[in-house]
Structure 1
Amino acid sequence: MSKIVVVGGGAAGLELVTRLGRRFSRRGEHEVVLVEPASHHYWKPRLHEIAAGTFDNELDAVSYLQHSYCNQYRYVQASMADLNRENKSIEIRNSDGQLSTLHYDYLVIAVGAVSNDFKTEGVSEHCLFLDSADQAQQAWEQINPLLKADGQRHISIVGAGATGVELAAELAKVSQKLKRYRHDADLKITLVEASDRVLPAGPACMSQKVLNSLVQHGVDVKTNTRVNRAEKGKLVTDQGDVLTADLQLWAAGIKCAPWLASLDGLETNRLNQLKVDSTLRTTLDDSIFVIGDSAECPQPDGGFVTPRAQAANQAAGHLARQLRRLLNGKSMMPFIFNDGGMVIAVGHNYAVGSLMNNKLIVRGRFVRNLYDTIFRLHQQILFGWGRVAALVVLKRVKASLNPFYKHNIS
């Protein structure tokens, strides 16, 4: 009997323990353990909805404690603090700061990535981030008073990747909806991007359609604008321009947590991603695997897997199958990422997507439904289609009875 420890309960980690728990633990074949400091799982591509006050915690959040019971894996609410490869153990720290040791036969690291401030002066002190549900909730607690205030308020968002674009559009939509309730709040949103276009990692034609939609929503988009430093209530650009705001959020670039670079000699790159081979094994230890944004995984074309949600989901499914092969004495197959395209939500009822290797660009409410379907597919892995169908019905009923903006605006 082997013990599989998975560190990180994001999309990749939670899908992995769900599959392994159903396959192994119910039969008593192997033990599956999830180490995660948070109490609830939130799908990371929807963190911008938490910050904007439009996320439904009752229907879309997942309790690790309840989910672990239903899927027969063990949930340990703690964070990873250190690694001892010789003893095959990790040191974990609980919410009280107490340290303990957890042994493993196979270890999977799936802790994801965080925003990269590129060591820009003042960013960590004067900007908010959206790397976790807690940070998104903290952002909401500061955005909510701005939405309630009379007159115009300003929010600056740095980084026009998927997170920055979706947050800007969602906030613009919320501000527009509030005006329908005869509310006097007027939110001005500025989106700042160092590249020459929004969504610099996506196809140019998709970027243009997203830009057009943002402008229609009233978002002030500033491309070719690099932030030199952040101060309280303002951003200073390389050109010396000053962008004032009541609130500043940073959503530019990604990197992994620094502690990954000091894990008992495991190889990392300049972004602190752990280097793995084509089977998702770390280059220096065959009993340690890495999936999701925290892995630098090579591909047959000489490139690496891009840090995207769909890549993390595919890696989780692949590794679940390969661990079964490994435990049955079979060789592991390489992970090859199949790019299914990109879908970006631009407001609550509109999205833009690129499909068929960027040969087809689609947009509209139908594409927004496709965006929601991707989330439902993630839920299907966690719960099965029966519960997902019930969640969809409940959400539609709830939406028909409640306003779009679900928080108190009095």
Structure 2
Amino acid sequence: MSKQKKKTIVIGGGAAGLELVTRLGRDKHDEVVLVEPSSHHFWKPRLHEIAAGTFDEELDAVSYLKHALCNKYRYLQGRMTGVDRAAKTLEVKTAEGRLVTEHYDRLVIAVGAVSNDFKTPGVASHCMFLDSAEQAHNVWQRINPLLRAQGEHRISIVGAGATGVELVAELAKVSQKLSRYNTGSELQITLIEAADRVLPMSPECMSEKVQSMLEKQGIRVLTNTRIQQAKSGALITAKGEVIESDVQVWAAGIKCADWLTQLDGLETNRIHQLKVLPTLQSTLDENIFVIGDSAECPQPDGGFVPPRAQAANQAATHLAKQFKRQRKGKDLQPFVFNDGGMLVALGHDYAVGAVMNDRVVLRGRQVRKLYDTIFRLHQQVLFGWGRVTRLMVLKRIKCLMNPYYNGRA
């Protein structure tokens, strides 16, 4: 390896991590390694489609191995188990169970966040989560038999943020489409939120429009409802109400993995995010960077970068540019998040969004197309427009040839 080359290791193959290694690998100036335990990449904002059985894995999932070969980086399937900052080494447990040690010049942590159960009794044991493709597949495996079985079945989703709202809307559409097959199955879907409205981080008028649409789809929406305990087949509210469920999904709040608090003394906050400088460097080590939901990154207005997919994408683009500056001996520039608004899908043919600093709320089929465009922009970074165009054509053909509900087991 040339003396000028540096070795950059990226931990986590989510949207931010994969876009970063794609850009760095194509740049060909550094040795780039991606450490990721999964074999395929799924865009996290679409995990609700996997859970509802409507995601096209054949066209929209990305093989890390194939992608690495095409984009000149090395893919190491495994989990990071520790770091030695003084020696600039990290330990990885591979998919085969071996422990390997990797040296780095720059380490980038991009492992995202997971749902926060707030230590509510019973949630970890009796609720399902939607933080990874594997968990989303598990949810689908539980829901799929209910769609086939006769009778009334109950599904409860806790948390009316974007994930919870998109999941209940997708399930309602699937149930509605499936009813044409006269299976005799009927889903009762309940969305539960502790705040006084759905999408509590969005404009009030957007929340009102979304809740109205959900209720028109037959979804029961409970706001100002805090879950005190989860049991097998039931959720208990703080007021003592029992909400019986065949499937219970927890999609409330966020926190980062516990192991982030054990990285050789790096600073973390109360939800285990790693504290970083505006340059995305960790506060205690200039050679360790953090992007995406796992970073607490300060902003000029005194706040912090929000945990959103668009923020992760912007951070990956920014950091790739900063590594180029660093190679030229220039100082790193601070990362400033540019809020492009919020879009929430309500089924495959409808979406609601807030743009222009939340001053304008849009809804309809065209907004859904804009939602899909964001995903295509992510794919464009990974593949280029040529392949994305072919994927879009293939997907359109499949939609014309196949029913909406594919009924896969």
Superposition TM-score, scaled by structure 2 size = 0.98
Task: Give 1:136's aligned amino acid.
Answer: A
Q: Is residue 173 from structure 1 mapped to residue 173 from structure 2 by the alignment?
A: yes
Distance 1:227 1:263 in 2: 33
Q: How does 1:21-100 map to 2 (within 5 A)?
A: 21-24=25-28, 29-100=29-100
Q: 1:154-209 deviations in whole A, cap 9, x for unaligned?
A: 00000000000000000000000001222211111000000000001111110001
Check whether the contact 2:228–2:236 (CA below 8 A) recurs between aligned residues: yes
From the superposition, tell whether residues 381 and 264 of structure 1 become closer, same or farther in structure 2 (CA, over 3 Å).
same
Q: Letter of the aligned partner of 1:23 in structure 2? A: D
Q: Matched residue of 1:77: which SS?
A: strand
Q: Whole-Å Cα distance in 1 between the matches of residues 95 and 335 of structure 2? A: 35
| Aligned residue type for 1:289 | F
Q: 1:19 aligns with which of 17, 20, 23?
A: 23
Structure 1 residue identity aligned to 2:21: V
Contact 2:53 2:408 in 1 (8 A): no
For residue 9 of structure 2, give the secondary structure of its aligned residue in structure 1: strand
Aligned counterparts of 1:84 and 1:41: Cα–Cα separation in 2: 28
- Secondary structure class of the residue paired with 2:378: helix
Q: Which residue of 1 aligns with 2:129?
A: 129
Per-residue Cα deviation, 1:114-145 (whole angstroms, up to 9, x for no partner): 00000000000000000000000011101100
- Distance (whole Å) between structure 1 residues aligned to residue 355 and residue 27 of structure 2: 33
User: Displacement, 1:100?
Assistant: 1.1
Superposed CA RMSD in Å reads 0.8
1:160 corresponds to which residue?
A: 160
Of 336-345 and 181-190, deviating more is 181-190
Distance 2:187 2:94 in 1: 40
1:309 is aligned with what amino acid?
A: A
8 Å CA contact 2:83–2:263 kept in 1: the answer is: yes
Partner of 2:103: 103
Distance in 1 (CA, whole Å) between partners of 2:203 and 2:72 is 42
Q: Deviations over 1:261-282 (max 9, x none)?
A: 1100000000100000000000
Kept after mapping to 1: 8 A contact 2:121/2:228: yes
Distance 2:114 2:98 in 1: 25
Structure 1: 5+ residue runs without aligned partners? none
CA distance in 1, matches of 2:102, 2:408: 44
CA distance in 1, matches of 2:398, 2:268: 46
Cα deviation for residue 324 of structure 1 reads 1.0
Counterparts of 2:212 and 2:126 in 1: how far apart (Å)?
30
For residue 377 of structure 1, report the CA deviation from its aligned partner.
Answer: 0.3
Distance (Å, rounded) in 2 between the aligned partners of 1:141 and 1:102: 37
Of 2, 8, 25 in structure 2, the residue corresponding to residue 4 of structure 1 is 8
Task: Determine the structure 2 residue equivalent to 1:326.
Answer: 326
* Cα drift, residue 328 of structure 1: 1.8
Rounded Cα–Cα distance in structure 2 between residues aligned with 1:292 and 1:376: 19
Q: Tell me how many residue pairs correspond in the alignment.
A: 405
Q: What secondary structure sits across from 2:225 in the alignment? A: coil
What code does the residue aligned with 1:19 have?
R
1:10-409 mapped onto 2 (5 Å cutoff): 10-24=14-28, 29-408=29-408
Q: Distance in 1 between matches of 2:257 and 2:324?
A: 29
| CA distance, structure 1, for counterparts of residue 263 and residue 348 of structure 2 | 41
CA offset at residue 97 of structure 1? Answer: 2.5
State the alpha-carbon separation in 1 of the partners of residues 220 and 356 from structure 2: 31
> Could you tell me how far apart the structure 1 residues matched to 2:31 and 2:189 are?
49
How far off its partner does 1:99 sit? 1.1
Per-residue CA distance 1:8-30 (angstroms, 9 max, x = gap): 00000000000000012xxxx32
5+ unaligned residues in a row in structure 2: which ranges?
none
1:96 is displaced (CA, Å) by: 3.0
- The share of aligned pairs that are identical, in percent, is 66
Q: Quote how far apart the aligned CAs of 1:408 are.
A: 4.3
Q: Distance in 2 between matches of 1:390 and 1:350?
A: 24
Partner amino acid, structure 1, of 2:195: S
**AA matched with 2:37:** P
Amino acid aligned to 1:121: P
Please tell me the residue identity of whatever aligns with 1:114. Answer: V
Conserved? CA contact 2:114–2:131, under 8 Å: yes
Distance 2:78 2:325 in 1: 29
CA distance in 2 between partners of 1:278 and 1:127 (Å): 37
CA distance in 2, matches of 1:242, 1:162: 25
Q: Which runs of 4+ in 1 moved over 4 A?
A: none
Aligned partners of 1:181 and 1:8: how far apart in 2?
A: 41
For residues 148 and 371 of structure 2, what CA distance do their matches in structure 1 show?
A: 29
1:72-118 deviations in Å (ceiling 9; x for gaps): 00000011000100000111011232211111000000000000000
Aligned equivalents of 1:260 and 1:232: distance in 2?
31
Task: State how far apart, in whole Å, the 2-side matches of 1:252 and 1:30 are.
Answer: 39
Give the Cα separation in 1 of the matches to 2:183 and 2:389: 35
TM superposition shift of 1:228: 0.2
Partners of 1:408 and 1:230 lie apart in 2 by 30
C-alpha distance in structure 2 between counterparts of 1:97 and 1:196, whole Å: 46
The Cα shift of 1:322 comes to: 0.2
Q: Equivalent residue of 1:76, what SS? A: strand
Question: What is the TM-score of this pair, normalised by structure 1?
Answer: 0.98
